[in-house]
Amino acid sequence: MCIRVHLWLNTLKFMAEENQNQQPAPNPERKTLDDRAKMTELERIRHSCAHVLATAILRLWPDAQFAYGPPVENGFYYDLECSHRISPDDFEKIEAEMKKEIKANNPFEKLTVTREQAIADASSGRLGGLGERPGNASKFKLDLLTQIPEGEAISYYKNGDFIDLCAGPHVMRTGNIGAFKLTSVAAAYYKGDEKGPQLQRIYGTAFKNKTALDEYFKMVEEAKRRDHRKIGAEMGLFAIDTEYVGPGMPLWLPKGTCLVEELEKLAKETEFAAGYVRVRTPHLAREKMYKTSGHLPYYADSMFPPISVMEEEDKKRSAFLASQLGAKGNALSIANENDPGSEKTFALSEEVRQLRGEFETVGTRYYLKAMNCPHHHRIFAAEPRSYRDLPLRLAEYGTCYRYEQSGELFGLMRVRSLNMNDAHIYCTEAQFAEEFRAVNDMYLKYFKIFGLEKYQMRFSTHSAEGLGKKYVNEPELWKKTEDMVRKVLIESGINYVEVPNEAAFYGPKIDVQVWSAIGREFTIATNQVDFAVPAKFGLTYRDRDNSEKTPLCIHRAPLGTHERFIGFLIEHYAGNFPLWLAPDQVRVITIGSEDDPASEALVKYAKEIVQQLRAEQVRVSTDFGSNPIKAKIQDAEQLRVHTMLVIGGRDMDAGVVSVRLHGKGPQGAKPKAEAVAAILAEIKERRA
RNA sequence: GCCAGUUUAGCUCAGUGGUAGAGCAACGGUUUUGUAAACCGUCGGUCGUCGGUUCAAAUCCGACAACUGGCUCCA
C-alpha cells in the first residue's frame, strides 16, 4: 500500500505556509462557539480543572506561560512553557495547590472584553496569569487572539486571581470539580507543529466525584491487563529481541505463528473465493522503482537506507571515472575538499567536483520495500494486458520494512518489519464501483468473523486548493472517484465520517480506525483508490476498441498487517481466542499418571482421542503427568487452552470425555466421537 | 526524532553507600488424583551498558541503549 504520503504532504504544507507571508497558521484544535456550547457537564468539569491546574502552577512557578488547556477523552491537559521542568514528582505539590483553589470554591466569572483590551492584557502578561507580569507577555494568548475571527466575542474566565483567555463554558465554581488527579507529563509541540516551540503538557483527569474517579482508574488497570504486550509475553506469542534482531522487529514464537497462519489461511480462502490471484515478490527493489513510483525522495526518511552493490556496469563506470579524475591530475587520495588545508592547494573545478561526486556514489542501490504496490505494478507490466484480463486482483501477504522513528515503536502495533494483507485490483472505470463495493463487503465479512463492533470508517477526500500540490491535478477524476466511493458507502449503509483534505496524493481512501486497550487510536485497515501511480509506471491494457488505456488501481488491506491486526486481536479477545484461532486449541488431561501402571488403559484411551484430533490438524497438547487434577486444570487455564478434555476412569468406562472450556468451567461429559465432531465443526466454521 | 519516567533471576517485585533477596516458573525427587496451586529439595543475577565520585556503588553523578507514557508521524 502506498500510504506514506504524509511526509511529502507535510513538506508541501510547510512550503505553502512559508509562501503565505506569515499568515497565522490555522489552529486545528480550535473549537467553534457552537461546539463549545455542546460541552457536557463532565467536559466542563475537566476544562475547569485545567484552569485550576494553571492557577496552581502559577502559584508555584509564576513565570509559566500557557497555551491550550482543553478537555480530552479521558480528562484534560494544559500546555505550558515554564523555566521549571515539571516532573511527576511535582504532582503532589501541584495537586495540593489545586485542592486549595477547589476548597476556596471561587466562582468562574465570565468577562467580555474588546480585542484592544485583550491584546493589552496579553501584552502585560495578565492573561494566563495571576496578575500582571511586566516583561513576560502572554505570548501564546497573543497568538491565539489573532485566530479569533473579527466580530466574534472575546471573553475571559476568572477564578480567584487567575484570568484566562477562554470562551468557556465552565462549571459555576471551582468547588464543583468533584475529584481529580494529575496523570502524566509529556512534551507537545505548539499547535502540533513539529517545527514550532515545544511545550510541557500536563495531563490530568477529573470526575464528578471520587467514586467515578476510582472507577476510571480501575478501568485503566483492567485495560493494562489486556495490553497485547503483556498477554503476548504471558502466552508466548512473540518476542522483540532488540539486542540481536533490532527494535520494532518482532519474532513470531510458535504460538504466535499459529495466529499468523490462521489469519493467512482465512485471507487466502476469502480472496480465492473473491477471484483474487496470489503473487510473491522480493523484499528488495532497485532505486529506480521508488523514483518512478514517486516514493523517493519524500519517503527516504522512513525507509531503511539503501544497500549499494557494485554490479558489472558500475565497476566499469567507476574505472572510467577514476581514469578521468586521474587524467585531470586529481588523484583521489590527495585532494579533500573538506580539508581546508588541501582546498588552498587544490581549487577543485566544477567538472572535477562532479566527477568526484559521481565516483563516490557510483553503484546500484537496492531498497528494502516499504510498500508492495510498485512490485505489483511491475507484475501487471510483466505481460501485455487486455480488457479481458480485468479486473486483475493481485494478492500477497507482503513483507515490508519501514524505518519508523524510535519513539513511535509500540509493541506489535507499530513496528519496523511488517506483513501486509495486501492486494491491488486493476480495473476499468466501469468496473470500479463494483470492485470497490466487493472490497467493502470483504471488510464487513471479516469484522463479523472477529466480532469487531467498535470501529470507525474514515473517508478521506481531497481539497480543491491542494490540486497540483498535495494531490494529482485531475479535478474531474477526483470528483468522479469520490462520488463513486461515497455512493458505495451510502448504498452499503456503512456509517462513516468524511474527512476533507486527508486523501492520499493519488486518490481518496477509506481507513478503518480502532482503539487499543489503553485507548490509542490505530488504522487497522485501509482501502485506497489510485488513479495516478499506474500511469507513472506506464501501465496499460488494450481496450475493446483497440485503444491503450491506463487502469484504475484499488489498494486494499482489510486485515492490515499481521503485526497490528494480531496486536489488536490479542487485546480484543484479551488473549481468549476463539477455537479456530487459539494457539492451544485442545488439551487432553488424564486423571491418573502415565507413570502409574494402574492408569495404563486410561492413558491409552486418552491417546486415541489425541490421535483422532491430530489427524484432523487440531492443535492438541497433553497432560498425562502425576500432578493433582486441580494443578493440571490450573496450568491449562493459565495457558488459555481453549478446550480441555478431562479423562478419568469413569469417562473411559462410559466411552465419554469431560469437556471444560477456558474461563467457562466444566461443560459436562460427551461421547468421544461427538466431542471430536463438535470441535472440528467449531473450527471449520470459525465460530466466535 | 522530541519531553518525562523506567531498567535488579525466565516472570512479578523487595532492597537509599558496607557479604544481592522473596514468590512464581524451571529442574530433580516424593506423591497417584474428578475440574484454578500436593510436598521436599536444587539451579538461577558482572543489579541495562560504559565511564566517574568514594576506602567501599544495585544505591550518588555523567554518557549511551532499550523500554514505558505522551508529542510528531503512521498499517
Give me the average pLDDT of each 10-residue run along chain A (688 residues): 33 30 39 70 90 91 88 88 83 89 89 87 86 85 83 85 87 89 87 82 90 86 87 92 89 95 97 97 94 80 88 88 74 48 54 82 90 96 96 96 90 93 95 92 93 88 83 86 90 87 86 80 89 92 95 94 94 94 96 91 95 97 93 94 96 96 95 97 96
Radius of gyration of chain A (CA): 32
Distance A234 CA to B11 C1' (A): 8
Distance in Å, residue A88 CA to nucleotide B50 C1': 28
Q: What is the DSSP string of A161-174?
A: TEEEE------SBG
Give the integer Cα–Cα distance in Å for A267 and A265: 5
How many angstroms separate the CA atoms of A648 and A190, rounded?
Answer: 67
Handedness of CA A39, A43, A48, A50 (dihedral sign): negative
C-alpha cell at A625: 503427568
Q: Within 13 Å, how many C-alpha atoms sit on residue A525's CB side?
A: 22
- Do A535 and A396 belong together in one domain? yes
Q: Which residue is nearest to nucleotide B31 (CA to C1')?
A: A626
* C-alpha cell belonging to residue A272: 480465492
Residue A144: which residues within 8 A CB-CB, separation 6 or more?
A27, A67, A165
A564 touches strand B (CB under 7 A): yes
The total domain count for chain A is 4
Is the ipTM above a cut-off of 0.90?
Answer: yes
Query: Which residues of chain A (256-295) touch nucleic strand B at CB < 7 A?
Result: none
The C-alpha cell at A655 is: 466411552
Kindly provide the residue ranges of all beta strands, DSSP E only, lying in A428-508, ordered along the sequence. 456-460, 496-499
Q: Where are the beta strands (DSSP E) in A128-178?
A: 154-159, 162-165
pLDDT of the residue at A28: 41
Residues 480-519, chain A, CB closer than 7 Å to nucleic strand B: 511, 518-519
Give domain status of residue A162, yes or no.
Answer: yes
Asked whether strand B has any atom less than 7 Å from the CB of A414, the reply is yes
The CATH number that applies at residue A41 is 3.30.980.10
What pLDDT does A33 receive? 65
Nucleic acid strand B within 7 Å of A418 CB:
yes
pLDDT at residue A123, rounded to an integer = 87
CA of A478 to C1' of B29 (A): 76
A10, closest nucleotide (Cα–C1'): B73
A534 and A675 assigned to the same domain: no
pLDDT, position A188: 87
Of the three residues A548, A573, A598, the one that is the final residue of a domain is A573
Specify whether A42 is located in the same domain as A174: yes
The pLDDT, as a whole number, for residue A350 is: 74
> Grid coordinates in use for A366?
537496492
Give me the pLDDT at residue A347, please.
Answer: 54
> Please, which positions of strand B sit below 7 A from a protein CB?
1-5, 11-12, 30-38, 65-75
- With residue A201 as reference, give the H or E element that holds it: strand A198-207
Give the pLDDT of residue A591: 94
Q: Does A15 reside within a domain?
A: no
A562: Cα separation from own chain's centroid: 13
- Whether A521 sits with its Cβ under 7 A from any strand B atom: the answer reads yes
Domain identity same for A136 and A196: yes
**A459 and A538 part of one domain:** yes
Which residues touch A553 (CB under 8 Å, ≥6 apart)?
A: A373, A377, A424, A425, A426, A427, A529, A530, A531, A533, A534
- For residue A498, the cross-strand partners are A459
Q: Which of A320, A346, A362 is the last residue of a domain?
A: A362
Does any domain span residue A231? no
Can you list the positions of beta strands (E) in A219-302? 238-239, 251-252, 277-278, 284-286
CATH number at residue A639: 3.40.50.800
CATH number at A504 reads 3.30.930.10
Instruction: Tell me the C-alpha distance between A528 and A555, whole Å.
Output: 5
Q: Which residues pair with A621 in a beta bridge?
A: A587
Q: Which residues pair with A424 in a beta bridge?
A: A394, A555
Nearest nucleic acid nucleotide to A188, CA to C1' distance: B71
Alpha-carbon span A287 to A367, nearest angstrom = 6
- What CA–CA distance (Å, rounded) separates A392 from A442? 17
Burial of A69 (0-12, 13-18, 19+ CB in 10 A): buried
The reply to whether A526 has its C-beta less than 7 Å from any atom of strand B is yes
* Domain endpoint, select from A339, A362, A385: A362
Q: For residues A44 and A170, state if they share a domain.
A: yes
Task: Give the phi and the psi of residue A49 in degrees, each rounded to 5.
Answer: -65, -35
Distance of CA A190 to the CA centre of its chain: 22
Can you give the distance from the CA of residue A600 to the C1' of nucleotide B31 in angstroms?
Answer: 18
Do A132 and A261 fall into the same domain? no
In angstroms, the CA A619 to CA A621 distance is 7
CB < 7 Å to strand B — which of 655-674 in chain A?
A: 658, 660, 662-663, 665-666, 669
Task: Clarify whether residues A259 and A339 are in a common domain.
Answer: no
Per-residue DSSP letter, A250: P
DSSP for A378-393 reads HHHHTS--BGGG-SEE
Which grid coordinates are listed for A99? Answer: 485542592
Distance CA A142, CA A454 (A): 40
Residues 336-395 of A with CB under 7 A from strand B: none
The predicted pLDDT at position A18 comes to 31
Separation of CA A89 and C1' B54 in angstroms? Answer: 28
- Domain for residue A513, yes or no? yes
Q: Are A310 and A425 in contact (CB under 8 A)?
A: no
d(CA A270, CA A258): 18
CA atoms in the 13 A half-sphere facing the CB of A71: 23
**Residue A409, CB, less than 7 Å from strand B?**
yes
Positions 585-624 in A, CB within 7 angstroms of strand B:
590-593, 595-596, 598-599
Distance CA A310, CA A262 (A): 41
A61 in any annotated domain:
yes
Cell of A622: 497433553
CB A247 within 8 A of CB A403: no
3-state secondary structure A300-359: HHHCCCCEEECCHHHHHHHHHHHHHHHHCCCCCCCCCCCCHHHHHHCCCCHHHHHHHHHH
Task: Give the span between the Cα atoms of A662 and A413, in whole angstroms.
Answer: 27
pLDDT, position A297: 66
Q: Which residue is nearest to nucleotide B36 (CA to C1')?
A: A634
Residues A385 and A402 grouped into a single domain = yes
Q: Is residue A580 domain-resident?
A: no
A91 CA from B53 C1′ (Å): 31
Q: Is A298 helix (H, G, I), strand (E, B) or coil?
A: coil
Whole-number Å distance, CA A365 to C1' B25?
Answer: 49
Query: Is the shortest CB-to-strand distance from A636 to strand B under 7 Å?
Result: no
Answer whether any strand B atom is within 7 A of the Cβ of A440.
Answer: no
**Separation of alpha carbons A157 and A49, rounded Å:** 13
DSSP letter, residue A410: B
| Pairwise CA distance, residues A421 & A555, whole Å | 10
Whether A304 maps to a domain, the answer reads: no
Taking the C1' atom of every nucleotide in all shown strands and the CA of A668, the nearest one is B35
Helix (H) or strand (E) holding A78: strand A75-81
Which domain, by its residues, includes A444?
251-283+368-573
Rounded-to-5 percentages of helix, strand, coil across chain A? 40, 25, 35
* Residues making up chain A, counted from first to last: 688
Q: What was the pLDDT predicted at A345?
A: 45
Whether residues A32 and A96 fall in one domain:
yes
Backbone angles phi, psi at A368, to 5 degrees: -70, 135
The Cα A596–Cα A594 span in angstroms is 5
Place of cell 505570548: A139
Answer for the pair A191, A25: CB distance below 8 angstroms, yes or no. yes
Which nucleotide C1' is nearest A589 CA? B35
CA A84 → C1' B47, Å?
32
CA distance A163 to A499: 36
Answer whether residue A296 is part of any domain: no
Say whether both A267 and A375 belong to one domain: yes
| Residues of A 153-212 whose CB lies less than 7 Å from any atom of strand B | 184-189, 192, 194, 198, 200-201, 203
Helix (H, G, I), strand (E, B) or coil at A292: helix
Q: Any atom of strand B under 7 A from CB of A625? A: yes
Q: Are A73 and A519 in contact (CB under 8 A)?
A: yes
Residues A358, A377 within the same domain? no
Q: Locate A429 and state its grid cell.
A: 472505470
Angstrom distance (rounded) from CA A23 to CA A88: 37
